Structures are given as C-alpha cells and as structure tokens.
Amino acid sequence: AADWKPGVPRTAYVNLFEWSWSSVARECVTELGPKGYAAVQVSPPQEHLKGSEWWVRYQPVSYKLDSRSGNRREFFAMVQICKAAGVDVYVDAVINHMAGGTTGVGTAGSTYGNYIYPAVPYDRSSFHTPSCSIASSDYDNNRSNVTQCDLPGLPDLDTGNPAVQDRIAAYLKDLLSLGVKGFRIDAAKHIKPEELAAIKAKVPGAYFLTQEVIKDGSLYNSGDINKYPEIGTVNEFSYVYAMKNMFMNMYGFNLSRMPEAFANWGMFPSNKATVFVNNHDTERKYCDKYAPGAQCDSMNTFSGDKLYLANVFMLGYPYGYPQVMSGYYFNSHDMGPVGQPYKGFELTPSNCSSDPTAAGKWDCVHRDKRVANMVGFRNFTAASPLRRWAADGENRISFVRGNKGFVAINNTTDVWAKTFATGLPDATYCNVLTSDQPETGFCPAAAQVKVVGGQATLSIPANAAVALHFGAVVQP
C-alpha cells in the first residue's frame, strides 16, 4: 500500500469479517485509509452455499464473485475505492475444498452436487479419490490424510492435479486482475506445501500471501512446518494462545512472562508471521458459553478491556504482521451476521455497538481509539527496535521503540502510578489511546503527557494503557 503519511508506511491490516462490499468501501474512505491501515481482509467472495450461518462462506459452489457480501460489480468498486483511499484488499481464498451436501443451488444460482460443480467446472476427477474423512488422530500421525482426506463433509480438491491447479490459479488471477493485493489461504495446512507452491507459481505477480496453518504433530513430523514459510507468511497461532494466556492469566501465565512465549513457544521468525489476538474461528471456537467472561479458543469481545489491551500490545510490539479482527457479536457458534441480507446492506457507525451481548450488532473493534490509534503508533515506529522491556510485578509491562515510541500496559484492577524512562526526546505527547486525532497536534488536556529528561510520571487506570509516539506530539 502507498505510504500513510510522507515517509510513514502502513503496517497493519484488519479483517472486516462478513462486511458487505459496499460497507467495506465506505469504511476504507472514512476510517481505514485515514487511520493508516495497510489493507482489509474480506470474507470469501466466491459463490457459496445458501444459508444464514457464517460458515456457508467457507463452502464454495463456484468461483463467481457473487456472495452474501455482494456481487462482482460491488466487489470491483470496493477494491478501487479502497485503493484510492490507500488501502489494499486481501481475499480469504477457500481453495482446499468445495461445498458439502448432496445437491443444491449457490448464491449466484449455480447448481452443484455429488462432487460436481459445473460452474467451475469441477467433476469427480477433480477430487481426491477414494474420498475419506480426516480423523482427529490424523493430526498427530497421518499427514497424508490431513492433506488428502475431507475436512468434515467438505469434498477435498485434488490440488496435486494440474487441471485443478489451473482452475484455482484462474480464480486467484481473476481477483488480482480486479486489483486485489493479497490472499489468506484458508485451510493451507490441508494442502501440501508443494502443491500450494505449484499453484502460486501459476499466479505471477507481487502480492501478499498468508497461510492458515495450525500447528500439530504430523506437520512437524513431515517437515512441512518449514516449507510453508517459503511460500508466504504463516498465521502464528502460538501468538494467539500467548495473548489469551498472558492477558487472561490462564494456566499461571501473566504479562511478565510474555518473553517466554517469544523465546520458547516455537514461533516463526517475525517476517514470516501474521499475528492476531483472535480470528473468526478462535473467537467462537470451544466457547462453553456466550456471555461476558467466556474464554473460547482465544480472547474475544467478551474479554472486555483485556481484548483491547492485547490489541495495544500486538500493535505496539514489533513482531509479525498484525491483523485486527472486527466482526459482529454472536450468541452461538454458528450465528451469522444479522441484518445483512444478501447483497447491498450498508453498514454505518450506527450499526456498531460496545455491548457484547447485543447479538447481531457489529463490534467495530478496529474503530476503537485503543486499536485505530495504535495502528498509527505501529506505522510511526515501524523502523524502531524494541528496547527497555520492563515488568513491574506480574501484570504491568512497559517497553520502548527506539527513541520513537513508548507503551505501558496495566493489566490489573488497580491504578499503576510510576515514573517511566520513556526513551523519548522531551516534549508534550498525546496518549493516543484516549484521544481522537492524536496526530493532529490537538489533544485533550487529560491525555497530555510531559516528557522531561526522558521521564514521564503516569497514573494509569485499571485495565488501561498509555502509548506515546513522536508522530503525536502536542502543539504548544
């Protein structure tokens, strides 16, 4: 993406999960572009199974761009409008499998059934045969079943077959031709890296590619864990679990132990990692209840302020390419977006809510000051190394980015009052987490922080943080 401000790159992106194309377009102009987001990842744009659940989007019927989020014209308009606003579009590409079930009609009107998808076209020979189902033990000890059998009920494409590779490549090339700049490869772990590399080789061009690879034993035993990073970046799920355990104080972890995760949890090198606090799967997976306090596979909007503190950490700490997750509130695993009829729903700020029990309302996490203004922090400190990591007890940490940025996070229920060595040149800075437009030089009095002799005396409220950077200095 083009620079945000002169000499300041865009270094973070957002997943606007289930947003319609016209709503994403508006958001690029009003929020994502101005706040410095590099890109937006959108829900799978291809024709899919009909149904109200969110996961119908992960069941392709064809590669026609006609989905719950909108049609091809709306998709193209979105890409162009976002591009003009400085924001790239990344597509969630579902290429491992096709829609399950017997027969039916997809969202673009295409018929399908019994391993036949005439609108692509795919027929029985396009799929692994004989078909088999992935067993849970396969994740420990049978890598070939993980790549060649069906995810539950989802016909597994024979991605080693050159004709299938050509169909997938044609889909990705079509997206690039419309201006798309990157892909999330859904279920990448279920495609052999050699086959994914062959597909990528059929899709020339410079584009971002990140792969959904959740680690397990058979992956390590096959050596494939080292092959995916050669193709593109990889979703680092150890990071997701670190965020949950450290911020929610699970299994004896706390913020002071964060360095252990980076040192010992086998994470990919920073330039190979895509990171997030939660994604659309983890935020609803293994949730025993959908009520405040529920933990699920990761943090989610029911984690309250802690979700935002984790986002402050993610965007402030120099590891990986961060993706902010923004979706809607739900009260069951399967619940799809409400009030977004097929095609054309226009989501505006009035559809956002800060009440996580408001099922169906949009959480708009990416608009929160603690998230949106931290994108600016990351952009301004992109070239500044981590310095002065410090823990004050178990759940209070601070760190410095070169001489450009300072972050302190108070993950406790008490005020944290302390004088910090910020590493910053003396000036009055604006705490970007409590100000609307910190880069303008205008800053509410309560958000102003004086740095004198490199030091700042702060009183950080419970479950809150402070972030200062040289792009948000207060005008005298």
Choice from 118, 153, 259, 425 touching ligand LAG (CB under 6 A): 153
Residue of 130, 152, 453, 476 that binds ligand LAG (CB under 6 A): 152
Binding partner at 156 among ligand LAG, Ca ion, none, C-beta below 5 to 8 Å by kind:
Ca ion
Token pair belonging to 468? 């200062």
- Binding ligand LAG (rule: CB under 6 A), the pick from 140, 216, 281, 392 is 281
Residue 66 annotated in active site: no
Beta pairing, strands 208-211 & 182-185: parallel
Do 181 and 89 contact (CB within 8 A), yes or no?
yes
Q: Which helix (H) or strand (E) holds 211?
A: strand 208-211
- How near is the Cβ of 111 to ligand LAG at its closest, in Å? 17
CA distance 187 to 182: 16
Of 17 and 319, the one with the shorter C-beta distance to ligand LAG is 17
Per-residue binding string, Ca ion, 181-200, x by CB under 5 A, is ---------x----------
Pairing relationship of beta strands 321-326 and 13-16 according to DSSP bridges: parallel
Residue 36 CB, shortest distance to ligand LAG, in Å, is: 27
Active site residue 212: yes
Nearest to 40 by CA among 115, 109, 92, 93: 92
- Choosing from 47, 138, 212, 224, the catalytic residue is 212
List residues bridging with 12 in a β-sheet: none
Q: Work out what residue 151 binds among ligand LAG, Ca ion, none; the CB cut-off runs from 5 to 8 Å by kind.
A: ligand LAG
Q: Which residue is nearest to Ca ion (CB)?
A: 190
**Residue pair 129/73 in contact by the 8 Å Cβ criterion:** no
32 binds ligand LAG per the rule CB under 6 A:
no
| Among the listed residues 96, 142, 245, 274, the single contact to Ca ion using CB under 5 A | 96
Phi, psi of 412 (to 5 degrees): -135, 170
Tokens of 218: 């058979």
Strand intervals (E) in 249-340: 273-275, 321-326
416-445 residues in contact with Ca ion (CB under 5 A) are none
> CB 409 → ligand LAG: shortest distance, Å?
29
Closest-approach residue to ligand LAG (CB): 153
- CA–chain centroid gap for 338, Å, is 21
The item of Ca ion, ligand LAG, none sharing an interface with residue 382, based on CB under 5 to 8 Å by kind, is none
Chain centroid to CA 203: how far?
23
Interface contacts to ligand LAG, rule CB under 6 A: 55, 58-59, 94, 100-101, 151-154, 186-187, 212, 281
List residues with catalytic annotation: 186, 212
